[in-house]
Amino acid sequence: MTTIVWFKRDLRIHDHPALFAAVQAGAVVPLYIYEPGYWALPNVSGRQFDFVAESVASLAEALAARGAPLVQRVGEAVDVLEDIRRATGATALVSHEETGCGWTFARDRAVAAWARGQGVAWHEHICSGITRRLPSRKNWTTRRNHFMRADPLPAPERITGPALTSDPVPQLAGPDHCPARQRGGRQEAETLLDSFLNIRGQKYRAQMSSPLTGERACSRLSPHLAFGTLSGREASQTAADRQRAIKGTRTGWGGALKSFQARLAWRDHFMQKLEDEPALEHHALHAAYENLRPATPDHARLQAWEQGETGYPFVDACMRYLAQTGWMNFRMRSMLMSFASYHLWLDWRVTGRHLARQFTDFEPGIHWPQTQMQSGTTGMNTIRVYNPIKQGQDQDPDGVFTRRWLPELADVPDALLQTPWMWDGAGRLAYPPPIVDQKEAARLAKDRIYALRKTVYRGAETARVIEKHASRKDAQGHFVNDRARGRKRPTPAQDPRQKGFDF
């Protein structure tokens, strides 16, 4: 029997249940499809495409070494799969369950219809802690941990199958200047995991919040987890091995590794939200918040925010850093989204698409639930309005990061770096004044959102959202759904959302 193995966001041969099953069954056609329709979406970018192309090249090299060159085709999935079926007589298709965007969901439905019509058996294998068609969040953590604790599957030693031609790798998504972007491929993922668990991650807890220290102290595995050059289970199991190795020592590694494992769990928790409710990519999780902000944005505010020209130095430094690197630590991602949503009162769908394009590690299942949570549209999470001045003073106390990315502020005294408009030389700066009054904008935003929250907090829609999406307990037994159920809210040290889980 010939089986098509359709690689999507799982660009590896290690711990790959679909590939493992196909090899046991017989001949294999490994396939990756460059889909022009996907790469034309408004929330993807060239930096993501380049990362994927590098990862596909790495995958192709690994498969070729085992006797089965990767077939790379350009086109719509149904057309490509039908062409492969006709060429090989394949009667089976395997892939992994994908928690993606609305476009990939619709594409998968079209593939399912094609498979039924052609008599092709399509089996989607579980490859993460996400549960498809989950009836309730009850016992979700137990199911997730059961999967993650199972031994990762080995890479096949030998793969056989028919030889097919490939298309030239296209250039989709357009050019994207991101000079410090992370590189794709399995070797990059393995190197990062090893250096994080053995060298860089010792002060993970203390250093993850600042963009200066977080750049090194965070694992930086997020794009590799997003596009599957490394599985979440591999990361978790390798971290568990390291935890056992340092058990009983006083090296400072214990807390760091515990936090890393918690963030891997939170990653699955948020991805489960999109799996359970795909519409939240486009609609507010809580229906009452659907039209909270104007659908048509204030373009001057939006442009200033996107280009790092808001007049708030730390916000602008973070946005410029993100544009050049494709990565940002979690706290600063939250601040950027919070500032856009509350101070600038911009709709999360508009700003969320821009950030999605900026992130090399764009993962729909994390991005859209987090975008809504930081914008206050979930109806159950605590409202967090970040003060951009205080964040700059707290996370960049010496101004090193801010000055690096805003060289036009070189002459501003340290004491006024985050409030340059207060300097008597502000009129000579090639830097804009604040686009809004921070205090007044925050006050107006809080008044609006709390007024709405009071009217719907105990309603049926809030109860529905909590029942479907709120976590019950984390791996340490702490309640993590804020005050939605009337329980004591975790302290910042207990709750990973206070520091971030975005690696």
Concatenating the DSSP letter of every residue in 277-288 gives: -GGGGTS-SSGG
Residue 346 has pLDDT above 90, yes or no: yes
pLDDT at 263: 96
Is residue 232 a contact partner of residue 129, using CB atoms and an 8 Å limit?
yes
Which residues 6+ apart lie within 8 Å of 26 measured at CB? Answer: 1, 2, 3, 160
In one-letter notation, the amino acid at residue 457 is Y
407-435: per-residue pLDDT in tens? 999 999 999 999 999 999 999 999 999 99
Q: For 29-48, how does the pLDDT look when each residue is reduced to its tens digit (9 = 90+)?
A: 999 999 999 999 999 999 99
Q: What is the CATH number of domain 186-276?
A: 1.25.40.80
Record the pTM.
0.93
Beta bridge partners of 34: 74
Strand partners, 396: none
Residue found by looking up tokens 């764009």 in the block:
362
Of 210, 239, 244, nearest to 225 (Cα)?
A: 239
Cα distance between residue 284 and residue 399, in whole Å: 37
Q: Greatest CA span in the chain, whole angstroms? A: 78
pLDDT of 484 higher than 50: no
Query: How far is residue 111's CA from residue 268's CA, in Å, rounded to a whole number?
Result: 25
Q: Which of 139-143, 213-217, 323-327, 404-408 is predicted least confidently?
A: 139-143
SS3 381: coil
Residue 353 has pLDDT above 50, yes or no: yes
Write the CB contacts of 325 (distance below 8 Å, at least 6 apart in sequence). Answer: 178, 180, 181
Q: Give pLDDT, residue 98.
A: 96
Count Cα neighbours of 315 within 13 Å in the Cβ-side half-sphere.
Answer: 29
Using one digit for the tens of pLDDT, what is the confidence trace for 271-280? 999 999 999 9
With 0-12 / 13-18 / 19 or more C-beta atoms within 10 angstroms meaning exposed / middle / buried, residue 190 is middle
Q: Are 329 and 211 in contact, with CB atoms under 8 Å apart?
A: yes
Q: Is the pLDDT of residue 476 over 80?
A: no
- Provide the 8-state DSSP code for 31: E
The residues of the chain that CATH labels 1.10.579.10 are: 279-470
Q: Under a CB-based contact definition with an 8 Å cutoff, are residues 481 and 471 in contact? A: yes
Location of each CATH 1.25.40.80 domain in the chain: 186-276
The predicted model gives 335-340 an average pLDDT of 98
327, 500 Cβ separation under 8 angstroms: no
**pLDDT range class, residue 473, cuts 50, 70, 90:** low
Residue 79 has pLDDT above 50, yes or no: yes
Do the bridges between strand 71-74 and strand 121-125 make them parallel or antiparallel, or are there none, so unpaired? unpaired
Q: C-alpha dihedral over 203, 204, 205, 208, to 10 degrees? A: 120
Residue 441, φ and ψ in degrees, nearest 5: -65, -40
- Higher-confidence position of 380 and 35: 35
Average pLDDT over residues 114-139: 94
pLDDT at 479: 36
For the segment 170-196, the average pLDDT, to the nearest whole number, is 96
- Average pLDDT of the residues in 111-121: 98
- Percent of the chain exceeding pLDDT 70 equals 93
Chain length of the chain:
503
User: What is the per-residue pLDDT for 136?
Assistant: 85
Separation of alpha carbons 23 and 95, rounded Å = 13
Q: How many helices (H) and strands (E) does the chain have?
A: 21, 5
Do residues 448 and 342 touch, judged by C-beta distance below 8 A?
no
- Count of alpha carbons within 13 Å of 115, Cβ hemisphere only? 20
Is there a contact between 405 and 305 (Cβ–Cβ < 8 Å)?
A: no
What pLDDT score was predicted for residue 488? 41
CB atoms within 10 A of CB 19: 28
pLDDT of residue 457: 80
Residue ranges of the chain assigned to CATH 3.40.50.620:
2-127
Task: Dig out the tokens for 111 from the structure.
Answer: 């593939």
Tell me what pLDDT residue 391 has.
98
The CATH number of 279-470 is: 1.10.579.10
Closest CA relative to residue 204, chosen from 221, 184, 189, 190: 221
3-state secondary structure labels for all residues of 486-503: CCCCCCCCCCHHHCCCCC
pLDDT for residue 503: 61
Please name which of 159, 200, 137 lies closest in space to residue 26, comparing C-alpha atoms: 159
Q: 345: phi > 0 → left, psi -120 to 50 → alpha, else beta; which?
A: left
Lowest model confidence (mean pLDDT) among 131-135, 290-294, 385-389, 406-410: 131-135
Q: What pLDDT, on the 0 to 100 scale, is given for residue 499?
A: 34
**Which residue is listed with tokens 């090899």?**
23
- Which DSSP symbol is given to 166? -
Side-chain-facing half-sphere of 78: CA atoms under 13 Å: 15
Residue 195 region by backbone torsions, left for phi larger than 0, else alpha for psi between -120 and 50, else beta: alpha
Q: Which CATH superfamily is domain 2-127 in?
A: HUPs (3.40.50.620)
Per the prediction, the chain carries an average pLDDT of: 93
Q: How far apart are CA 178 and CA 184, in angstroms?
A: 14
Angstrom distances, CA of residue 165 to CA of 68, 73, 84, 94, 229 = 12, 9, 10, 20, 24
What does the DSSP 8-state code read for residue 157? S
Q: What are phi and psi of 275, to 5 degrees?
A: -60, -40
Report percent pLDDT > 90 for the chain.
88
CA gap 251, 257 in Å, rounded: 11
The yes-or-no verdict on residue 110 having pLDDT over 80 is yes
pLDDT at 472: 60
How sure is the predictor about 337, in pLDDT bands with cuts at 50, 70 and 90? very high
Range among 57-61, 175-179, 380-384 with highest mean pLDDT value: 57-61
Which range, 386-400, 457-471, 482-496, is most confident?
386-400
Q: Virtual CA dihedral for 110, 112, 116, 122, nearest 10 degrees? A: 150
